[in-house]
Amino acid sequence: MLKRIIILLIIVELGIAAFGCSRKVVKSEDAIDEEISVKQASESKTDAEESFPLREKFNKIKHITIEALNREYEKTIIIDVRSKMEFDVIHINKSVHIPVDSNLFIKNLEKVREKSGSIPIVFYCNGHTCAKSYEAAEYAMDAGFLNAYAYDGGITDWVNAHPEKTTLMGKTPATMEKLITHEMLAKRKISFAEFKKKAENPHAIVVDVREPFQRKNIPQIPQLRNIPSDRLVEMIAEGELKGNQLLILDAVGRQIEWIQYYLEQHGYTNYYFLEKGVLSAEEAGRAVSADEYVIGSEDALEVMVWRNEILSRPRVVVRPDGKISLPLVGDIHAAGLTARQLKDDIEKRLKEYEELPNVTVIVSEINSYYIYILGEVRSPGRYQLKSNISVLQAVSLAGGFTNWASPNSMVVLRRNGEKEEKIKVRYKKIISGSKPEDNVVLRPGDTIIIP
């Protein structure tokens, strides 16, 4: 009897132990999320606020430290949410590229992992002050994705800690000597005044790499053309721009770092970046609102119809008659209008074919910033403008009045759409100060006539 009791107790004890082991196994499979959260809770809140300034703003987003991400590297899905150019320059080895700016972000995310999946999904971008990792996690959570995290140390922290798990310019492990330093970048940044002066060189190639949605203001810089960064990188690799001085600007000076990797890799030496990008032109008062800029002949436009590639045109040049041609719309007048006015006109015409057309018009190249000065000036003719000027400044540009001029009878001819406006300019009243508003600021295509 005693033996039976002892055997029974041993069996019960073994069963309890077995049950405990099985529970531990289940826990280890499900616990990546819990383990990450517990280990992150031990971080100093003060240090996090100082080093990661966006955590307070995105306080509902769970973040993962570099130590935790490395520890759980094989057990997580890592998503790079930056642009294609940034990803191609440098990325975490096993990361999947899904730009957060894409309209298909959530749809592409679903291809990688189902919303209810238990495997942690981690988003990252460039560094501590980059909001895209938080935004991507926020979008994913709002769409119903579970176990979503932001790795806010970004690629900068990662490459320094784990070059063996980093790809730089197509090679892994990352060669630390190939990293662009702050000093290397700073040497290529120049002020707006210096940048503008270099842009006046006819052999310079001046490029605005901003995306369409960023082009709210147009800097008044000679020879400026819009080339998206992805296309510019292709041109650099193909050697199309060698032999010219290359001047590049972006929105606020953050994209240029990635372009520099390609310039250095392909042996370019004669290049400069505009410090602080278009922001510096705005601070210097040398940027025109894209909504205020008046389109002229020879300007290149980007006309995009939302969700309709057939009707969209990535590049259309305004003809000498001031018109452009578009599918279904036909010929439509563009010169003399702002981008917003032209957008409204195109949408009005497309309503015959679509219920609610959504059109975007962007001035991608400014080639029409010129005026004509005719009549009694010393050097009449066509003048290419580099910035906004007034009537009297234009007269000075043309050498001043001749002895037979009648300056009080000056007129400015200006085209507004298909109509031509005549603006009287009374020279004596401008000089006396009684009518300073007569000294109008000229628009591209204006003609000044001095009888």
Q: Is residue 11 part of a domain?
A: no
Q: Is residue 342 part of a domain?
A: yes
Angstrom distance (rounded) from CA 228 to CA 364: 10
Judgement on whether residues 390 and 441 belong to the same structural domain of the protein:
yes
Judgement on whether residues 353 and 383 belong to the same structural domain of the protein:
no
Judgement on whether residues 51 and 121 belong to the same structural domain of the protein:
yes
Judgement on whether residues 73 and 99 belong to the same structural domain of the protein:
yes
Q: Which of 130, 163, 178 is the last residue of a domain?
A: 178
Q: Is residue 332 part of a domain?
A: yes
CATH number for the domain including 151?
A: 3.40.250.10
Sheet with 121-124, edge to edge strand ranges: 96-97, 77-80, 121-124, 148-151
Q: Is residue 205 part of a domain?
A: yes
pTM score of the predicted model: 0.64
Q: Which of 161, 178, 195 is the last residue of a domain?
A: 178
Judgement on whether residues 70 and 57 belong to the same structural domain of the protein:
yes
Judgement on whether residues 66 and 121 belong to the same structural domain of the protein:
yes
Beta bridge partners of 86: none
**Closest alpha carbon to 87 in 74, 76, 73, 101:** 101
CATH number for the domain including 342?
A: 3.30.1950.10
Q: Is residue 294 part of a domain?
A: no
Res. 268: pLDDT tops 70: yes
pLDDT in tens, 332-379: 999 888 888 999 999 999 988 888 889 988 887 777 778 899 999 999
Judgement on whether residues 269 and 147 belong to the same structural domain of the protein:
no
pLDDT in tens, 214-250: 777 888 787 788 888 888 999 999 998 888 899 999 9
Q: Is residue 72 part of a domain?
A: yes
- Mean model confidence pLDDT for the chain: 85
Judgement on whether residues 312 and 271 belong to the same structural domain of the protein:
no
Judgement on whether residues 309 and 424 belong to the same structural domain of the protein:
no
Q: Is residue 412 part of a domain?
A: yes
Residues 227/300, Cβ–Cβ less than 8 Å:
no
Q: What is the token pair recorded at 135?
A: 């935004």
Judgement on whether residues 131 and 232 belong to the same structural domain of the protein:
no
Structural domains counted in the chain: 4
Q: Which of 133, 149, 178 is the last residue of a domain?
A: 178
Res. 174: pLDDT tops 70: yes
Judgement on whether residues 174 and 48 belong to the same structural domain of the protein:
yes
Give me the domain span that covers residue 128.
37-178
Judgement on whether residues 250 and 340 belong to the same structural domain of the protein:
no
Q: Is residue 1 part of a domain?
A: no
Range 57-79 average pLDDT: 96
pLDDT in tens, 140-164: 999 999 999 999 999 999 999 999 9
Res. 14: pLDDT tops 50: no
Which sign does the torsion angle of CA 245, 250, 254, 258 carry?
negative
